[in-house]
Amino acid sequence: MVKEIFEQPEVIGHTFAHYVDLASRTIKADVFGLDFATLPRLTMSACGTAFYAGMAAKYWFEKYARLPVDVDIASEFRYREAPLPDDGLALFISQSGETADTLAALQYCRTHQQKIASIVNVQESTIARASDIIIPTFAGTEVGVASTKAFTCQLTVLACLAIAAGRARGHLSIGQENQLVSALIGVPRHVAEITNRSDEIDKVARRIVTARDILFLGRGINYPIALEGALKLKEISYIHAEGYAAGELKHGPIALVDENVPVIIVAPRDNLFEKTVSNMQEVAARGGQIIMITDADEREGIGTELFDLIHVPKADPFVNPLLYAIPVQLLAYHAAVLLGTDVDQPRNLAKSVTIE
On whether the CB atoms of residues 71 and 51 are closer than 8 A, the answer is yes
- Is the per-residue pLDDT at 299 higher than 60? no
DSSP 8-state code for residue 147: -
Q: How far, in whole angstroms, is CA 151 from its chain's centroid? A: 6
What are 116-137's pLDDT values in tens digits? 999 999 999 999 999 999 999 9
Distance separating alpha carbons of residues 97 and 328, to the nearest angstrom? 25
Looking at per-residue pLDDT, the higher value among 203 and 248 belongs to: 203
Query: Given pLDDT bands bounded at 50, 70 and 90, which one contains residue 58?
Result: very high
Asked if pLDDT for residue 56 goes beyond 80, the answer is yes
Cα–Cα distance, 110 to 273 (Å, whole number)? 41
Which pTM does this prediction carry?
Answer: 0.93
pLDDT at 200: 93
- Segment 20-45, tens digit of pLDDT: 999 999 999 888 888 899 899 999 99
What pLDDT sits at residue 157? Answer: 97
The answer to whether residue 305 scores a pLDDT higher than 80 is: no
Q: Band the pLDDT of 303: cuts 50, 70, 90.
A: low
**Would you give the DSSP letter of residue 45?**
E
Q: Average per-residue pLDDT in the chain?
A: 91
pLDDT of 180 above 70: yes
**Does residue 148 contact residue 228 with C-beta atoms inside 8 Å?**
no
Q: Tell whether the model's pLDDT for residue 355 goes beyond 80.
A: no
Residue 35: how many other CB atoms lie within 10 Å:
13
Q: Is the pLDDT of residue 79 over 90?
A: no
Residue spans in the chain of domains classed CATH 3.40.50.10490:
2-185, 193-339
- The mean pLDDT value for 225-252 works out to 92
Out of 3.40.47.10, 3.40.50.10490, 3.40.630.40, 3.90.580.10, select the CATH number for domain 193-339: 3.40.50.10490
Tell me: the pLDDT tens digits for 94-104?
A: 999 998 999 99
Per residue in 188-210, pLDDT (tens digit) is: 999 999 999 999 999 999 999 99
Concatenating the DSSP letter of every residue in 94-158 gives ESSS--HHHHHHHHHHHHTT-EEEEEES-TTSHHHHT-SEEEE-------SSS-SHHHHHHHHHH
**Residues of the chain with pLDDT > 70: what percent?**
96
Q: Which CATH superfamily is domain 2-185 in?
A: Glucose-6-phosphate isomerase like protein; domain 1 (3.40.50.10490)
